[in-house]
Structure 1
Amino acid sequence: MNGPGTAHDARRYFALPSPFRMKRGGELHGASVAYETWGELNAARDNGLLILTGLSPSAHAASSVDDPAPGWWEGMIGPGKAIDTTHWFVICVNSLGSDKGSTSPASIDPASGEPYRLNFPELALEDVAEAAHATVNSLGIEQLACLIGCSMGGMSALAYMLLHPGGARAHISVDTAPQAQPFAIAIRSLQREAIRLDPRWDEGRYDIHAQDGDRYPDIGMSIARKLGVITYRSAMEWNGRFARIRLDPEQRDDDPFGREFQVESYLEGHARRFVRHFDPNCYLYLSRASDWFDIAEYGNGSVHEGLQRIRIERAMVIGVSTDILFPLEQQEQIAKGLEAAGATVDFVALDSPQGHDAFLVDIENYSRAIGGFLDRLGAD
Structure 2
Amino acid sequence: MNDARRYCALPSPFAMKRGGALHGARVAYETWGTLNAARDNAVLILTGLSPSAHVASSADDPSPGWWEAMLGPGKAIDSDRWFVICVNSLGSDKGSTCPASIDPATGQPYRLTFPELALEDVANAAHEVVRQLGIERLACLIGCSMGGMSALAYMLLHPGSVRAHISVDTAPQAQPFAIAIRSLQREAIRLDPDWRGGQYDIHAKEGGTYPDMGMSIARKLGVITYRSAMEWNGRFARIRLDPEQREEQPFGVEFQVESYLQGHAERFVRTFDPNSYLYLSRASDWFDVAEYGGGSVREGLKRIHIERAMVIGVSTDILFPLEQQEQIADGLRDAGAAVEFVALDSPQGHDAFLVDIANYSPAIGGFLQRL
TM bracket (short chain): over 0.9
- Matching residue's letter, 2:335: A
CA distance in 2, matches of 1:211, 1:148: 33
User: Among residues 253, 259, 262, which one is paired with 1:265 in the alignment?
Assistant: 259
Other-structure match for 1:286:
280
Shift of 1:47: 0.1
CA contact (8 A) 2:289 2:301 kept: yes
Other-structure match for 2:72:
78
Shift of 1:255: 1.2
User: Among residues 43, 47, 61, which one is paired with 2:37 in the alignment?
Assistant: 43
CA distance in 1, matches of 2:100, 2:40: 35
2:122 pairs with 1:128 = yes
- Matching residue's letter, 2:11: P
Other-structure match for 1:338:
332
- Matching residue's letter, 1:233: R
Q: TM-score, normalised by structure 2?
A: 0.99
User: Among residues 49, 53, 59, which one is paired with 1:65 in the alignment?
Assistant: 59
- Matching residue's letter, 2:267: R
Other-structure match for 2:82:
88
**4+ residue runs of structure 1 moved beyond 6 angstroms?**
none
Shift of 1:211: 4.3
Shift of 1:210: 2.4
CA distance in 1, matches of 2:296, 2:205: 48
Unaligned runs of 5+ in 2: none
- Matching residue's letter, 1:160: Y
Shift of 1:169: 0.1
CA distance in 2, matches of 1:141, 1:94: 18
Q: Deviations over 1:149-192 (max 9, x none)?
A: 00000000000000001110000000000000000000000000
Shift of 1:127: 0.1
CA contact (8 A) 1:195 1:224 kept: yes
Q: TM-score, normalised by structure 1?
A: 0.97
CA distance in 2, matches of 1:291, 1:211: 29
Other-structure match for 1:4:
none
Other-structure match for 1:163:
157
Identity %: 84
Within a 5 Å distance, the mapping from 1:62-211 to structure 2 comes to 62-211=56-205
- Matching residue's letter, 2:174: A
Unaligned runs of 5+ in 1: 1-6
Give aligned pairs, total. Answer: 371
Other-structure match for 1:18:
12
CA distance in 2, matches of 1:53, 1:211: 24
User: Among residues 307, 314, 320, which one is paired with 1:313 in the alignment?
Assistant: 307
Q: Deviations over 1:182-218 (max 9, x none)?
A: 0000000000000000000000000012244550000
CA contact (8 A) 1:321 1:355 kept: yes
CA distance in 2, matches of 1:131, 1:208: 24
CA distance in 2, matches of 1:265, 1:62: 29
User: Among residues 334, 346, 351, which one is paired with 1:352 in the alignment?
Assistant: 346
| SS of the residue 2:30 aligns to | strand
- Matching residue's letter, 1:98: S
